[in-house]
RNA sequence: GGCCCCAUCGUCUAGCCCGGCCUAGGACACCAGGUUUUCAUCCUGGCGACAGGGGUUCGAAUCCCCUUGGGGUCACCA
C-alpha cells in the first residue's frame, strides 16, 4: 500500500496538513506500506525555499518520517511536481489529440462574466459552447500563431461518478455538474487537479487520504485517470479541523502552524497525540497514546465524519501530561534551549550548570505545561527578582518583620543546609510569637521566590544555597523596614 | 445560490455499519470536597448530550424519509 502527503511549499505546515500527514503516516505504518512525500511546487509565484524547509522540519519534529520524497529519494521520483512536467505535457497532448481536452481562447474576464451570470440565474456554469465546439484544426492554427489560451477538459454529460471513500462510504457526483475545468494555464503549466491525478497514478499511490475540502476535486481527478486508462486509488476524505467559530481553522482563531507550537514549547508527542485524536479514536477510553499504539490501532473506518473543533485548552492539558511524564534528565535536555534563550543558562553550559538545570527541571515538572514556561518560573533561582504584587503584600503584612527576624536568626544558627526539618522550625518560630505556621511560610516564600507559588521551600532553600537564601531574607527585612 | 458533506454532553469522542446489554461510557473544561507549608500535582464526587418531526419495528441514539442547523467547494491556487 502506498500513500502520499502532497504539501505545496507556499507557507508553513498547518495543523490540518499535519494531521493529514499523520493519518497517512499511520496508515502506511499500520499496513507496512510506503509513505511518500510529493512537493506540489507548480505555483512558482508563491513557492519559497523556506517553506519547504519549514514543512519538512515540522514533519520530522512530529516524528513523521517518509519513505520516499525530498532528501530520501525513491523509485517513483522525481518528488517535486515541477520536475514531472514532461509527463504532464505528454498527457496533455494526448488529451488534445484524442479530443477529451480542447483549447479555449475565451479571455479570462469573459469566462468570469459567464460564470457570474450563471450563478445569478441560480445555475451552474459548465462551459462556453463557442470555444468547446471550435474546430480542432482552427484551434491548433491559432495556438501556433501564439494566441493566448488555456486547455480545458471536455467533461462528459450525465455520467455518475462514484467515489468509494473509506470514511464517507459512497459519494456520487453527476458529471453534468462538473465544469469544463482548466487543465493547463495560459503559460502551459498544468493545474493541480490534472497534475495531481497523474502523479498519484504514476507514483502508484493506492490510497489517497486527504482533507475533506478535496472531496469536490475528486470527480475531476477521476475523469483524468479514466481518459488516460490509469488505475483509480481508494479514498479517505478526512473531516476538517475547525476553529472555535466552527469554520475551517484559520489564523484568525489562533496559531495554526506546527512551528508556532514548537516555538512555544509544546512537547511534540503531545501535539502528535492531540492531532491524532481530532477525528480519530482508538476506542471508548484511550486518550493518551504513543505513535506506536496509534499505528497498532489505526483504521480508516474509525475516522470521524464530522469536523472537529480544535480545543487549545485540551491541548495544553495534554502537553502537561507529556511534560510530567518525561524523565528528569530528558526534561532538562528539552528545556535547555529555552533557558539559554532567556539567558539563564550559558550557551555552552558546564557540567555544573546542567546538573543544576536538572534539579530545577525536577522541581518544576509538576507545575509546567510547556517547556517555554520554565525560564520565567525559575528565574528567581538564577537572578535577583522583584516580588510581584501579592508577594509584596505578604511581606508588608503586620507582624511579618518580627517573624522573619526570628526565622532568620534561627536559620543563621543552623549549620546544616538545607535545614532538614523546615516545617518544625517554622512551627517553632511561629509559636514563639503566637502565630500560625502559615504566617511564616508565606512571607518566607515571598522573600525567597518573589511569588506565592512554586516548589517546596526546602527545595528552594537547597537550590538557592545558604548564602543567597539568607541574603534574600535580610534584603526583604530591610525593604520591609523601609516600607513600614 | 448550485453541487457535495456532516449532525451524541460547552469541546474531543465511544456506541450507529450488524436495532434490545444505553437508566448513553470516557476525556478536557467547569463546580464541590479531600490530600498538601504555597502553587501545582494527585484523589473523590457532581454538572452535562442522542437537533426536531414523521415513519419501520414488540423495541431506535442506532434503519428510512422530511425539516432545521452547520460546514466544504464553486480560480488560468494547491
Q: Which three cell numbers stand for residue A453?
A: 507559588
A215 CB less than 7 Å from any atom of strand B: yes
Rounded to whole angstroms, the distance from the CA of residue A170 to the C1' of nucleotide B20 is: 29
Residue A480's pLDDT is what?
A: 65
A216 CB less than 7 Å from any atom of strand B: yes
Surface-to-core class of residue A264, CB atoms within 10 Å of its CB (0-12 exposed, 13-18 middle, 19+ buried) = middle
Residue A433's pLDDT is what?
A: 87
Rounded to whole angstroms, the distance from the CA of residue A312 to the C1' of nucleotide B31 is: 21
Beta carbons of A104 and A114 less than 8 angstroms apart: no
Nucleotide nearest to A120 (CA to C1'): B1
Whether A251 is a known active-site residue: answer yes
Interatomic CA distance for residues A207 and A190, integer angstroms: 23
Residue A235's pLDDT is what?
A: 97
Rounded to whole angstroms, the distance from the CA of residue A407 to the C1' of nucleotide B7 is: 64
pLDDT in tens, A100-158: 999 999 999 999 999 999 888 888 899 998 889 899 999 999 999 999 999 999 999 99
Residue A102's pLDDT is what?
A: 96
User: Can you give the pTM of this predicted structure?
Assistant: 0.94
Give the ipTM: 0.95
Q: Which residue is nearest to nucleotide B76 (CA to C1')?
A: A185
Ranges of residues in chain A with a pLDDT under 50 are 484
Residue among A122, A220, A248, A251 flagged as catalytic: A251
Q: Is A326 helix (H, G, I), strand (E, B) or coil?
A: coil
A308 CB less than 7 Å from any atom of strand B: yes
Which residues contact residue A323 at a Cβ distance below 8 angstroms, ignoring those fewer than 6 apart?
A267, A270, A331, A365, A368, A369, A370, A371
pLDDT in tens, A337-364: 999 999 999 999 999 999 999 999 999 9
For chain A, the straight-line distance linking the first and the last C-alpha, in angstroms and rounded, comes to: 76
Residue A484's pLDDT is what?
A: 43
Amino acid at each position: 500500500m502506498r500513500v502520499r502527503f502532497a504539501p505545496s511549499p507556499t507557507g508553513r505546515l498547518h495543523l490540518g496538513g499535519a494531521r493529514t500527514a499523520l493519518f497517512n503516516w499511520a496508515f502506511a505504518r499500520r499496513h507496512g506500506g510506503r509513505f511518500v512525500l510529493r512537493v506540489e511546487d507548480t505555483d512558482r509565484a508563491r513557492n519559497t525555499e523556506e517553506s519547504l524547509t519549514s514543512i519538512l522540519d515540522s514533519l520530522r519534529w512530529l516524528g513523521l518520517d517518509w519513505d520516499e520524497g525530498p532528501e530520501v529519494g525513491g523509485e517513483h521520483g522525481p518528488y517535486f511536481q515541477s520536475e514531472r512536467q514532461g509527463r504532464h505535457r505528454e498527457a496533455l497532448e494526448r488529451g488534445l489529440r484524442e479530443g477529451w481536452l480542447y483549447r479555449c481562447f475565451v479571455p479570462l474576464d469573459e469566462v468570469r462574466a459567464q460564470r457570474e451570470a450563471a450563478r445569478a440565474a441560480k445555475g451552474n456554469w459548465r462551459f462556453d459552447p463557442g470555444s468547446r465546439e471550435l474546430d480542432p484544426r482552427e484551434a491548433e492554427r491559432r495556438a501556433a500563431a501564439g494566441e493566448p489560451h488555456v486547455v480545458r477538459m471536455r467533461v462528459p454529460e450525465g455520467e455518475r461518478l462514484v467515489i468509494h471513500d473509506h470514511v464517507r462510504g459512497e459519494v456520487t457526483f453527476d458529471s453534468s455538474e462538473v465544469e469544463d475545468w482548466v487543465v493547463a494555464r495560459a503559460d502551459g503549466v498544468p493545474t493541480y487537479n490534472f497534475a495531481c491525478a497523474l502523479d498519484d497514478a504514476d507514483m502508484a499511490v493506492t490510497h489517497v487520504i486527504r482533507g475533506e475540502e478535496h472531496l469536490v476535486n475528486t470527480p475531476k481527478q477521476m475523469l483524468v485517470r479514466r481518459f488516460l486508462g490509469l488505475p483509480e486509488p481508494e479514498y479517505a476524505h478526512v473531516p476538517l479541523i475547525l476553529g472555535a467559530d466552527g469554520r475551517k481553522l484559520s489564523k484568525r482563531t489562533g496559531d495554526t502552524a506546527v512551528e508556532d507550537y514548537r516555538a512555544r514549547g509544546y512537547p511534540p508527542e503531545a501535539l502528535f497525540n492531540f492531532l491524532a485524536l481530532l477525528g480519530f479514536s482508538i476506542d471508548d477510553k484511550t486518550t493518551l497514546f504513543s505513535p506506536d499504539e496509534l499505528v497498532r490501532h489505526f483504521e480508516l473506518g474509525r475516522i470521524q465524519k464530522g469536523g472537529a473543533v480544535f480545543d487549545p485548552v485540551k491541548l495544553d492539558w495534554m502537553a502537561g501530561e507529556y511534560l510530567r511524564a518525561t524523565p528528569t534528565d530528558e526534561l532538562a535536555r528539552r528545556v535547555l534551549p529555552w533557558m539559554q534563550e532567556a539567558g539563564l543558562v550559558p550557551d555552552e553550559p558546564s557540567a555544573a550548570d546542567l546538573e543544576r538545570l536538572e534539579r530545577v527541571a525536577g522541581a518544576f515538572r509538576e507545575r509546567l505545561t510547556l517547556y517555554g514556561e520554565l525560564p520565567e518560573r525559575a528565574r528567581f533561582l538564577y537572578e535577583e527578582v522583584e516580588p510581584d504584587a501579592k508577594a509584596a503584600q505578604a511581606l508588608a503584612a503586620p507582624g511579618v518583620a518580627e517573624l522573619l527576624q526570628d526565622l532568620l536568626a534561627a536559620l543563621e544558627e543552623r549549620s546544616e543546609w538545607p535545614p532538614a526539618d523546615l516545617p518544625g522550625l517554622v512551627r517553632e518560630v511561629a509559636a514563639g510569637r503566637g502565630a500560625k505556621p502559615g504566617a511564616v511560610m508565606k512571607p518566607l516564600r515571598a522573600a525567597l521566590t518573589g511569588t506565592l507559588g512554586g516548589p517546596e521551600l526546602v527545595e528552594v532553600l537547597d537550590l538557592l544555597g545558604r548564602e543567597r537564601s539568607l541574603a534574600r531574607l535580610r534584603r526583604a527585612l530591610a525593604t520591609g523596614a523601609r516600607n513600614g
